[in-house]
Each structure stands twice: as C-alpha cells, then as structure tokens.
Structure 1
Amino acid sequence: MGEEDGEVLHGQDGAGARRPLRPAPPPSGPRPTPGRPDHDALTVVPALAHADGPLTADGLAAALSWTRHRLDAALDQSRAHPDTGGALVLRHLPPEAYTATPRLDVLAPHQVDANSPAHASRLTAGSIDWFLRRHLRLACV
C-alpha cells in the first residue's frame, strides 16, 4: 500500500518527529542522451565486461550496432572519465583490443595484495559446505 491507496508511510527525522516518506526526487541537471559520448560510455564498459573476452574496436562497434565514429567517441569518454564504469574500468590491449577489468585504484595496496592470486586462499569442499550450512541453512550431503 502506498500514498495512492490513501496511506501515507511515515518515518522519523533526527529529532524523532514523524514525517511522510517520499521518494527521492529525480536527479537534476541534463541526463545523458543515447548517441552522446557520455551516455554511450555507460554502455561500453558493461558490454566489454559481458563479452567472453577482449574485443577489437570494430568487433565492439558491430556488437553494439554502432558506427566506428560513435564507438571511438564513447571510448574516448571512457578513457577521460574512468569512473564511468563504476567498479570496472576500460582497458586497452594493444594493438586494437579492449576489455573491462576491476578498478584497483579504489582498493588500498594491502587489499590488492591480499586479493592477488598468490595470496588468495583456496576454496575446499569443507569450506563450501560450511558456507552453505551457515549462510543458506541448507543440509549438505
């Protein structure tokens, strides 16, 4: 039920007073438009992350049904603004391939080291069984 049903949901402010809960207003400012580099950059990194492996620029343009000019503008935007991909970043693999990888710049050096393959602990059947029993409350056989 919600306000449209005549019910107003309430929360409390910092002083404990009841106030109506309202949805957040839409973001202000111009919104990216499809076909503009700022919008297209939002598509490039997830598309590369979803691909089975690195793609050439021509292959990525074909997969997205874009012209090469449109893709180049989106790639330029992604390079200029690495945060466009959120936790992922565009990576160029010479001579002409691209992929998406995790952004390591958001981790502290000790976190990068702790998660490197050399330091990562291996999952065992026992640890998987423990996880399932503890977190999913399943009886493993």
Structure 2
Amino acid sequence: MDQRISFVTLGVANLAASRRFYVDGLGWVPELEVEGEVLMFRAGPLLVLSLWDRAHFEAEVGPLADTTGLLPITLAHNVATPSEVDTVLDGARAAGATSVSDAVERDWGGYTGYFADPDGFRWEVAFNPGPIGQSVLPPVSDTT
C-alpha cells in the first residue's frame, strides 16, 4: 500500500450550513456537489476533503459512536508566515467559525491557532518553520 491519504471524509450534521461556511464564508470552490448528500473540495494535488451528510455517511460506513466532547482529530492548514496565521484565523471567524484559540508561539518554534467549523471539527492554522512544515506549503510563484 502506498503511503498517502486520498480523501478525508467528515460526517456533518447540516450540509447546507457546512456549504455556507466553506463556500460562502471561506471561498472554497467545490469540485463535486450532490445537494443534500455530499460536498467535495480539492484540498491538495492528490487530496480531497469530503463533507458528507451524516445520514448518508452512516448508511455506508455504519453507526457513529455516541461521544461527548471533542473528536480526536484535527485538520491543519499550514502557511508560510506567522502573519498569515492571523489572517486566516480572522477570515475563518468572519466566515462564522468558532474561535478555539488565538494564535500563540509554540514551544517547538511554530505559531498556531485553532478554529472550529459548524460541526465543531477543529482546524489548526499553523506556521511551522521546520522542514516537515515547509514541505507541505505550495511552491512560491515568481512574479518578477
């Protein structure tokens, strides 16, 4: 098996609310949309983020666990500078995200903060100056 992830699929309670947040609020462009069922976004060259209505999600993968509190997963959006972290967090809040934590300098040398989408999924916005953090950034385009 190749070492890669092709899709990240999240079961969401209200697909219309998720659409308003990701499309209308954050400005993401769907690559596939089946109204009331699923919304898919190209999240990288070989990665798709899929937001699936919970009822349709459960019909295929089985019952969701009864949980209280935070699910043990985060999604991360890495950026090239600490100021971009603040800009993205501000944009997410303007789109209706719940602020989880303002950005702070981390012990490991990065600068990160968190927001929650309409279903409470936590998004980390991060500047990671280390090699692995830099390796996930899109290439810088030369506009000169």
TM-score, normalisation: structure 1: 0.22
- Structure having the higher strand fraction is 2
TM-score, normalisation: structure 2: 0.22
